[in-house]
Structure 1
Amino acid sequence: MFLMRPDEKGVTPLKVFVAGALHESHSFNSVRTPLSAFEDAEPGSILGQPGLADTRTTEGGIISAARAFGWDLCFPFFAKAAPSGPVAAAAYDTLLARLLDELGKAMPVNGVILALHGSMFAENCPDTEGDMAARVRAVIGPDVPLALTLDCHANVSDLMGQSADIITSYRTTPHTDQRETAERVARLLDDAMHSRSAPHCHVGRLPMMAGLDMGRTVDPDGPMARLHVRARQIEARDPEVLEICLNAGFYYGDIAETGPSVVVIGNGDDARFQQIADDLILEAWETRDYFSLSFFTGPEAVAKAAADRPDPGAGPMILVDFTDGPFGGAHSDGTELLDLLLKADLPGTVIGPILDPQAVTDAAQAGTGATITLAIGGKTDPTYGGPPVTVTGQVSALNDGTYLRKGAYLTGSTGRMGDSACITSGNCRIVIISQRQQPEDREQYRIFGIDPEQANIIALKGQNHFRADFEPIARELVFVDTGCLVAVDYTIFPWSNIRRPIWPLDEVTLPSR
């Protein structure tokens, strides 16, 4: 926890401006992300939310820290959208205009926090976070400290490092430390505003677009976890190293600076801080081909599930449709596992959530208890995920898809899947949603009357975050490659903007040091 500052009578509180704009943009997803996809994007949408300060979220951590430090907080919006294709030009222009307009109205300020993802790309701006940071810097001038919070799947650009004084990222995957990250950036900013430090960013990067096992920290012996141990040792040994920020990168961004990075925040601009960043990214390079997951094809995964004879109470076998995970930027309406599991009709099978607004509408019109035939999934781009699957079943539940997160990920905050339906067909229960959302919390199933702990098989679409709440109950995780957009073979994409040569697309030999 951060330390509360003592009250100072007669001292004007420091004014801190905060805004958020978070989106992970998959360059090869053909669907552009409109402004309407962003929640909490309207000015005035944050500080009035009851209980937000108590949630395990970035915005909750910032609000709580601001109260402890006695800041005068100006926090107009925290726009966030589920990962998908690049942000539409009009949407980015609007978000940027709102950011600069709200900042202009708040001026003068003593400090700024921008809560970003680090891998948002727009049609008209490949480095949106660098652009936003640079635009903010132009408004506040060179002396007001600017801090960025990022997802650890950020592609940190040179412009981000040049514009910001402080950068810090989540240290866990699944991202269960968003609140701690916010509190950490608040401490760093408070020290800078009180001239207790003079933070400066130093970015280390090598010609690699992948590495650090996609940032996973569930294995304490994995490269990301081990590099964090090294980083914390360096911070403890050298008090002038204010923060070491490790980023695995987002591998589906076709921009020049895609890939892992290390950002060292030094107390001042000293060459030794850059050397630390360069040494740590070299350690990441040396483990670049480590990948902790192995994959089954769809038929192999379903055959494995069919052959399994679990003990009572063993928990579900979770078939993870990795390449169609919505929070990797995939469409989340791929149908291969749906088709295979319907044909297998294994007892206790739960499938979804699957994105299909039209199927939800059709189910709602039929009503709870009705028997209906639906074409489910495969409507966005069948190239990545297959065609729709015809399903005949009973509409067993309908709701608005709203749930309260009770697991370790974003605890206490509200999740939304939009209007939703559950269809029962044979032994299979299929959850269909109208708003793209990742599987992240068991409450997403309980609102349909499904007890995840009692399921035999759960087929869900995800990469990492589901593990925080589902891995503890799973008898086994089976990762499946169904040929969708979050591909593990990066060579399938038509890269045009990424820097070359770059590993693993090219043979790369580093110069001797």
Structure 2
Amino acid sequence: MALRIAVSGLLHETNTFAPGLTLLEHFNNERSVTNEEFERRYLHTRTSMGGVIDAAVQHGAELKVGLYTSTTPSGMIEAETADKLIDDLLRTLPQEIDGLVLIMHGAMVSEQYPDFEGECLRRLRAKVGDRFPIAMTLDLHANVSEDMTRLADIIVGYDTYPHVDMYERAVEAFGLLADTIGGQITPTRSSKHTGMLIVPQAMMTEEGSMKLIMERAFKLEEDPRVLNVTVIGGFPYSDVADAGMTFIVTTNNDQRLADQLAAELARMAVDRKESFAIEQLPPKEAVAAALAEQEGPVILVEGSDNVGGGAPADATFVLEQLVSVQESALIVIRDVEAVNEAFRLGVGASFTGQIGGKSDRLHGKPVEVSGKIRLLFDGKYRHLGAYMTGHMADMGQTAVVESGNLTIVLTEKRVAPWDIGHIKYAGIVAEQYKIIVAKSAIAWQTAFGSIAKKTIYVDSPGCCSANLHHFEYKHLNRPLYPFDEVPSHVRV
């Protein structure tokens, strides 16, 4: 009899410092509860969901779809929304199944559940029992709790940042789940927290300490006793007890080996803790440094307004330095009021108005801009690059305004610069600009990495600042580096 595998998931990266609450309506844009809806949206895409679809075919399994929904990273999930999401997840869990692939982020936080993924697993276990096989995929920016490690039989996290291996990791998780159901393996897990909180800009997996750590993890996976090694960088903008870098090692029924290897990787990371520091320049100095470069594009990484980390996408600290820039510059800003005004005026009209800085004062004040409306469009596009290739994205109503040498893309919805499509569909050629502002930490590289001549990190206030001393944490497990020394139990 063919395997009957269910797939479900709730995916959100929660920034507890971001303004506002995340509501149920925010999950409406990406939601499916039937096989038809799921396949229509994700078949032939390089996403986790596309990976599960293809893996089911490879294994000759019958795929049964429950609720899958996600939304752009943002603020704390409202309590009522959290309970509704979990209730719907349980209610739509398919019947008569042999196992479940659960697609999660790992850094979901609601008003009442600081460990949202752990709460989902606790509720699932209450429904399906302790012996039912569950494989869970996680983002590299998860914050892993003991309950998550204990209650999921298999945890497979992304190996890349920018995340270009979601598809492959879902295929891997599906395969391990199938082998577990078939009795070929008995997954045994161990997780080890490093006692460190590091910022996303330090987690680029193709360079520095993260590359060395990943290479060691891959080497450990060559041991036939090791089923998976997951390197979790953590998400520092969720103020929860388990925030920080963690390692999860899954072996085939060898707890001692899993414990040993997880501890080894944690020590390796701690030994390199100083290497995770990031050099940044204040906005004015960053723009001056970009202009001093002989060639462009120069990418100004405005990580404090990282849309992919939950920021509002309307910070103006860099924008106000660009309004009279002497060379070509490009920036994307979310501003519903400005977009509506541009659509009222129409293409070719003159635009004058206050842009950005409307979510809260943490991200700056509105900036006066005057220019010509070059283009208006509905903001819908498909990913063209390596990150979630083929995935549908939606910026909402979008206007392109040219103000002197500065091109401003005004969007109705927050959009992360994960793919070149977000400007290419607006008729913009990135290579023509000396300066490009990326409201991102690292994932912008899947859009602009191949053309960037120089990268400059900007130190500005915001809910995703790379300077963690800007934040007032209340719930972290202490001691925790960089605020304290690394706990002694990790160093041994």
Give TM class, smaller chain. Answer: over 0.9
Contact 1:169 1:247 in 2 (8 A): yes
Give the number of equivalent residue pairs. 490
Contact 1:355 1:436 in 2 (8 A): yes
**1:14 corresponding residue in structure 2:** 3
Secondary structure of 2:171 counterpart? helix
Contact 2:201 2:441 in 1 (8 A): no
Name the Cα RMSD after superposition: 1.7
Deviates more, 1:61-70 or 1:39-48: 39-48
**1:372 corresponding residue in structure 2:** 351
Alignment partner of 1:260 is 2:245: yes
- Structure 2 CA distance for partners of 1:33 and 1:44, relative to 1, 3 Å: same
Secondary structure of 1:197 counterpart? coil
Q: CA deviation at 1:347?
A: 3.0
**1:5 corresponding residue in structure 2:** none
The partner residue of 2:234 within 228, 231, 249 is 249
Match for 1:360: what amino acid? Answer: V
**2:481 corresponding residue in structure 1:** 503
In structure 2, distance between residues paired with 1:68 and 1:287: 40
In structure 1, distance between residues paired with 2:44 and 2:272: 38
**1:206 corresponding residue in structure 2:** 194
**1:81 corresponding residue in structure 2:** 71
After TM superposition, list the pairs within 5 Å mapping 1:125-274 onto structure 2. Answer: 125-210=113-198, 214-219=202-207, 222-237=208-223, 239-268=224-253, 270-274=255-259
Q: CA deviation at 1:226?
A: 1.3
After TM superposition, list the pairs within 5 Å mapping 1:33-48 onto structure 2. Answer: 33-38=22-27, 39-44=29-34, 47-48=37-38
Match for 1:334: what amino acid? Answer: A
Q: CA deviation at 1:417?
A: 0.9
After TM superposition, list the pairs within 5 Å mapping 1:336-347 onto structure 2. Answer: 336-344=317-325, 346-347=326-327
Secondary structure of 2:475 counterpart? coil
Secondary structure of 2:324 counterpart? helix
Quote the sequence identity (%).
35
The partner residue of 2:418 within 424, 440, 451 is 440
Match for 1:125: what amino acid? Answer: Y
Secondary structure of 2:482 counterpart? coil
In structure 2, distance between residues paired with 1:371 and 1:395: 6
Q: CA deviation at 1:393?
A: 1.3
Secondary structure of 1:143 counterpart? coil
Match for 1:228: what amino acid? Answer: M
Deviates more, 1:208-217 or 1:179-188: 208-217
Alignment partner of 1:456 is 2:444: no
**2:17 corresponding residue in structure 1:** 28
Secondary structure of 2:381 counterpart? strand
After TM superposition, list the pairs within 5 Å mapping 1:309-328 onto structure 2. Answer: 309-310=294-295, 315-328=296-309
In structure 2, distance between residues paired with 1:77 and 1:263: 26
Structure 2, unmatched stretches of 5+, are none
After TM superposition, list the pairs within 5 Å mapping 1:477-488 onto structure 2. Answer: 477-488=455-466
In structure 2, distance between residues paired with 1:425 and 1:211: 34
Q: CA deviation at 1:141?
A: 1.3
Contact 2:19 2:312 in 1 (8 A): no
The partner residue of 1:100 within 90, 93, 100 is 90
The TM-score with structure 1 as length reference comes to 0.92
Contact 2:10 2:70 in 1 (8 A): yes
In structure 1, distance between residues paired with 2:36 and 2:159: 25
In structure 2, distance between residues paired with 1:71 and 1:87: 34
- Structure 2 CA distance for partners of 1:305 and 1:211, relative to 1, 3 Å: closer
After TM superposition, list the pairs within 5 Å mapping 1:115-126 onto structure 2. Answer: 115-126=103-114
Contact 2:480 2:487 in 1 (8 A): no
**1:407 corresponding residue in structure 2:** 385
The partner residue of 1:62 within 52, 63, 80 is 52
Secondary structure of 1:136 counterpart? helix
- Structure 2 CA distance for partners of 1:332 and 1:213, relative to 1, 3 Å: closer
In structure 2, distance between residues paired with 1:282 and 1:211: 18
Q: CA deviation at 1:292?
A: 6.4
**1:329 corresponding residue in structure 2:** 310
Contact 2:291 2:327 in 1 (8 A): no
In structure 2, distance between residues paired with 1:134 and 1:236: 32
**1:420 corresponding residue in structure 2:** 398
In structure 2, distance between residues paired with 1:18 and 1:207: 33
Structure 1, unmatched stretches of 5+, are 1-10
In structure 1, distance between residues paired with 2:130 and 2:230: 22
**1:6 corresponding residue in structure 2:** none
The partner residue of 1:348 within 328, 331, 352 is 328
Q: CA deviation at 1:210?
A: 2.5
Contact 1:213 1:290 in 2 (8 A): no
